Structure 1
Amino acid sequence: MAKAYVVLSFHETLLHQSDVELLTGPHWLNDTIISFYFEYLEKVKFSDSNDILFVSPEVTQCIKMVSSEEIKIFLEPLNIETKKFVFFALNDNSSPDTAGGSHWSLLVYSKVENCFFHLDSSSGSNHNVAWDFASHLMTYLSRADLINFVDKECVQQSNGYDCGIHVICNTERLAEFARSHREINSCDMMMRINPSAKRKEILTIIQNLASSR
């Protein structure tokens, strides 16, 4: 029963004990943890950056499943037309009805560079998923011109469960770079990632937010 209780309500995200426990060991991160951290980046860390958008995994999954004409239903309320950098946490789940999947990767749309950048910590695993999603988005984001697609080199995970942590770390680093440099292509993404340290950091953030409410 203990796993059912709510640890934190943060804007649109409700974190249960079972979600938070995924951060404590060698566990694959679910949609809820990544959604929470994307919201934390938007509402706290990058609250002063009006041209950066972090799209939740749930919204990303919905966009994957709808027709090109329906994409605007999900993106227009997010004011995407005013954003220069848009971050999507991509999952290889192909089911429209269930959460899950087995691998996360990051797709970033840079309006200023007219390019999709894909970062996959298990290189190649999500290439087709990212390519299909970018092609799907292109019909909405660009009425006439083509948008480039680049598989950007990044640090590779050393196990089968840290892909979500890599997405979070890559998102944060690229957003910081975008805020200061106004582009992301030249950002070096081969800097070391410490998944255990990042898990502990996220746990601390959750605990601090929970204790302040």
Structure 2
Amino acid sequence: MPRNVRQKKRAERRVQGATTAAADETANGSKKLINAELDEQAMGDGHGNEMNSNANSNTNGNGNDSSKDQDGHGHNDQQKSSGNGNGNGNGNGNGNGNGSNTNNNNSNNNNNNNIGPASSSSSSSTTNVMHTKKPKASRADPILASLSKNALRMSDVQLLHGPHWLNDAILNFYFAYLEEIKYKSNTDFLFVTPEMSQCMLYMDDKELHGLLVSQHQVLRKPFLFIAVNDSQSRERGGAHWSLVVASRPDKSFFHFDSYGGSNTSSSLELVNNIKDVLDMQHARFRGMRCLQQSNDYDCGIHVICMADQITDYVNRYDSVDGVQPLHQDVIKAKRNQLIKLVTTLGQHI
């Protein structure tokens, strides 16, 4: 082979070798740089994970980063999550450090549940978060129907939709309806609401006279319809309703109890307290036969239905004596009738 040809080939091999060496050096340098960056991230410096960590300027004395999400607003922004300078960082930049998934998951849960203010402790490697339960917003309870003396709210009317006891508000409202609308022109009737009868049980003669005689002209009323509760205090309460009808023409206090006469003692106590003021000292107390309730929550419905039936009977015969017991179908239909009545009176159920 000619010398010049051999020299040319050696020169080409030298150039090729130099090119290969340069490429290897470049590759090794890049590998070292990548490894150095990974090592720095593994130490928690976080320069390669700025989008998922906040460890660049908020690190405290122990290497724990205070979270920007601890302002009490409950944000869960990964860009603001706290880093951890104790080796809980991650070389892949996803916020879950090698061997420290539990700590990071707990940190994320704290951010998700954080509602109240948070505090950071310089003597601990984890962030302490104060959890406070946000109070529930109160639901509106609008008035659905009202009369001059009483009103019904949504929560009251909801009792009519299911197997629930009727509260004072419903009985008060219905007795007000009988007085102000259905029998407005009938001056012979006085309807005593449960609220009023509960007060009457504890009044003395002077107070009773002011309430019944001066205010309601009871001496001019032949018939009083009184809803009685078995509560043993001045406060609202008790567990059973019954109906007392004071009838001057019959010279009697008629007691209608749908639960085996369980409210007899409370009714008799009320009668004894008011009979002198009513000028009915010699009237008899008479327990009347009536339809018995088939459950333990319909006593209020029975009182309302009996008040309807007896007022209708008295309006025709001017006497309570001889009124017949209710039919069960009347009781079953009454709740829906009451809902329709409230709808008619209120027009915005």
Structure 2: distance between partners of 1:193 and 1:28: 18
Larger relative contact order (C-alpha < 8 A, sep ≥ 6)?
Answer: 1
Cα distance change, pair 167–3 in 1 and its aligned pair in 2 (3 A): farther
Match of 2:328, SS state, is coil
**Aligned with 2:181 (options 24, 36, 44):** 44
Match of 1:163 in 2: 299
Output one character per residue of 1:97-142: Cα deviation in whole Å (capped at 9) or x when no partner.
x212100000000011110000000012001111111111112112
Q: What is the aligned counterpart of 1:33 among 163, 170, 177?
A: 170
Of 5-14 and 85-94, the range deviating more from structure 2: 5-14
Deviation at 1:194, TM superposition (A): 3.4
The offset of 1:48, in angstroms, is: 2.4
C-alpha distance in 2, partners of 1:158/1:83? 34
2:165 alignment partner, SS class: coil
Q: How far has the Cα of 1:178 moved from its partner?
A: 0.6
Counterparts of 1:1-40 in structure 2 under 5 Å? 1-2=138-139, 4-40=141-177
| 1:1-213 correspondence to structure 2 within 5 Å | 1-2=138-139, 4-76=141-213, 77-96=215-234, 98-142=235-279, 145-211=281-347
Paired letter, 2:251 = N
Paired amino acid for 1:210:
G
The answer to whether the 8 A contact 1:3-1:16 is kept is no
1:185 shift after superposition: 0.7
Q: TM-score, normalised by structure 2?
A: 0.58
Instruction: Give deviations 1:31-57, integer Å, cap 9, x for gaps.
Output: 110011111111222122110111111
Equivalent residue letter for 1:60: S
TM-score (norm 1): 0.93
Identity %: 36
Q: Which moved more, 1:120-129 or 1:66-75?
A: 66-75
Give the SS at the match of 1:15. Answer: strand
> Which stretches of structure 1, 4 residues or longer, exceed 2 Å deviation after superposition?
1-4, 190-196
Cα distance in 2, alignment partners of residues 131 and 68 from structure 1: 17
Give the superposed CA RMSD.
1.5
- How many equivalent residue pairs? 210
Alpha-carbon offset, residue 195 of structure 1 = 2.8
1: CA distance between counterparts of 2:315 and 2:237?
31
Instruction: Tell me if structure 1 keeps the 8 A contact 2:146–2:345.
Output: no
AA at the equivalent of 1:176: D
Q: Name the SS of the counterpart of 2:275 in structure 1.
A: helix
Question: Could you list the runs of 5+ residues in structure 2 that have no partner in the other structure?
Answer: 1-137
C-alpha change, 1:130 and 1:3, in structure 2 (3 Å) is farther
Structure 2 CA distance for aligned equivalents of residues 163 and 3 of structure 1: 29
Q: Looking at secondary structure, tell me which structure has more strand per residue.
A: 1
- Distance, in Å, in 2 between the alignment partners of 1:72 and 1:59 is 13
